[in-house]
């Protein structure tokens, strides 16, 4: 009788396993994250700064292993962010997640994030399926050289002297963009987050007296890449041609820290996309965000 081969002996890739990662897994995680530095800058920045211990990172990171090799990971905090995930990893994480949703959003490459959401909803029901907002097409853009328009010299790094004014502008931006206030129930936490951006030199603003009329932050910085977030121009100043020069100044300042500046933007935000195109950003991918 001829023996029947099973698993990888038969040419079928064996299924892996989910494991909560810890401090000893940092080198392997960095290896995976470094495969796509622009796409993974958010998770990479957090892991490089705080490691993989949940007590310092503030959340778990789930690994997906085949044999002894880490092939994918998932940041499982207020943002659920899959990294280097195929369907097998997504299926395994779906089982591991359970019915009780712990995140406020799912963010990642568009096809991966939307598949993950559907898998979670199909497996666990309304706690994962019911959402507040889905943004399925968010172009990921980068610039690796000098901006194509002249930077506005009035844009500068924010100091703690303007902490209150910058926080107010950040709250207005977030509320306008997301539809809910970031300070409902925890204003101290959000103010501390803004303070960290300022003290690390990652908050940029244009001022009219003490009033912030333009702002942008570097939400994540890792290796050679940063990610711009929180771009906002006061509604009273829109339509006056200020945005391209202001964004060019942000690029100029950000590139004193790292060579590649990235961001992602809603596809329907035509004004912002036109500004980024003028400054010299080019699309390199696409994200999706699911908001709960």
Query: pLDDT digit string (tens) for 35-79?
Result: 999 999 999 999 999 999 999 999 999 999 999 999 999 999 999
pLDDT, residue 284, reads 98
Confidence of residue 107 (pLDDT cuts 50, 70, 90): very high
CATH-assigned architecture of domain 15-130: 3-Layer(aba) Sandwich (3.40)
Task: Report whether pLDDT(201) > 60.
Answer: yes
SS3 143: strand
pLDDT, residue 3, reads 34
Q: Residue ranges per domain, the chain?
A: 15-130, 143-286
For 78, 91, 94, 162, the CA distances from 98, given in Å and listed in that order, are 15, 12, 7, 43
Mean of the pLDDT values across residues 202-215? 96
Closest by CA to 75, choosing from 231, 202, 220, is 220
Task: Residue 189: count other Cβ atoms within 10 Å of its Cβ.
Answer: 10
Q: CA–CA separation, 75 vs 257, rounded Å?
A: 25
Determine what percent of the chain is predicted with pLDDT higher than 90. Answer: 90
pLDDT, residue 185, reads 73
Task: Report whether pLDDT(124) > 80.
Answer: yes
Token pair belonging to 191 = 């103010």
Mean of the pLDDT values across residues 96-108? 97
Task: Report whether pLDDT(5) > 60.
Answer: no
Confidence of residue 13 (pLDDT cuts 50, 70, 90): low
For 11, 41, 222, 228, the CA distances from 27, given in Å and listed in that order, are 30, 16, 15, 26
Mean of the pLDDT values across residues 206-213? 95
Q: CA–CA separation, 189 vs 272, rounded Å?
A: 29
- Report how far apart the first and last C-alpha atoms of the chain are (Å, whole number): 57
Q: Which CATH number fits domain 143-286: 3.30.2320.20, 3.20.20.300, 3.30.830.10, 3.40.630.30?
A: 3.40.630.30
DSSP characters over 227-279: EEEEEEE-GGGTTSS-HHHHHHHHHHHHTTT-SEEEEE--TT-HHHHHHHHHH
Indicate if 143-286 has the same CATH topology as 15-130: yes
Q: CA–CA separation, 273 vs 265, rounded Å?
A: 7
SS3 81: strand
Task: List Cβ neighbours of 118 (8 Å cut-off, separation of 6 or more).
Answer: none
Q: Across the strands, what pairs with 225? A: 222, 260
């Amino acid at each position: 009788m001829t023996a029947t081969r099973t698993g990888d002996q038969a040419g079928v890739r064996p299924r892996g396993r989910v494991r909560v990662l810890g401090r000893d897994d940092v080198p392997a995680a960095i290896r995976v994250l470094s495969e796509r530095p622009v796409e993974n800058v958010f998770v990479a920045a957090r892991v490089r700064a705080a490691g993989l211990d949940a007590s310092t990172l503030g959340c778990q990171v789930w690994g997906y292993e085949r044999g002894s090799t880490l092939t994918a990971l998932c940041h499982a905090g207020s943002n659920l962010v899959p990294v280097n995930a195929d369907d097998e990893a997504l299926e395994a994480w779906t089982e591991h997640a359970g019915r009780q949703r712990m995140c406020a959003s799912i963010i990642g490459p568009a096809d991966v994030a939307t598949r993950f959401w559907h898998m979670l909803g199909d497996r666990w029901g309304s706690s994962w399926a019911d959402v507040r907002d889905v943004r399925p097409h968010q172009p990921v853009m980068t610039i690796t050289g000098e901006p194509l328009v002249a930077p506005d010299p009035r844009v500068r790094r924010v100091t703690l002297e303007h902490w209150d004014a910058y926080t107010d502008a950040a709250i207005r931006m977030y509320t306008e963009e997301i539809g809910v206030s970031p300070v409902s129930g925890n204003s101290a936490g959000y103010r501390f987050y803004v303070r960290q951006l300022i003290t690390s030199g990652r908050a940029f603003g244009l001022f009219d007296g003490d009033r912030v009329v333009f702002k942008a932050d570097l939400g994540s910085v890792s290796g050679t890449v940063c990610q711009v977030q929180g771009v906002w121009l006061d509604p009273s100043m829109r339509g006056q041609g200020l945005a391209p020069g202001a964004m060019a100044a942000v690029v100029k300042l950000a590139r004193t820290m790292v060579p590649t500046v990235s961001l992602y933007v809603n596809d329907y935000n035509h004004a912002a996309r036109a500004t980024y195109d003028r400054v010299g950003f080019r699309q390199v991918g696409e994200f999706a965000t699911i908001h709960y």
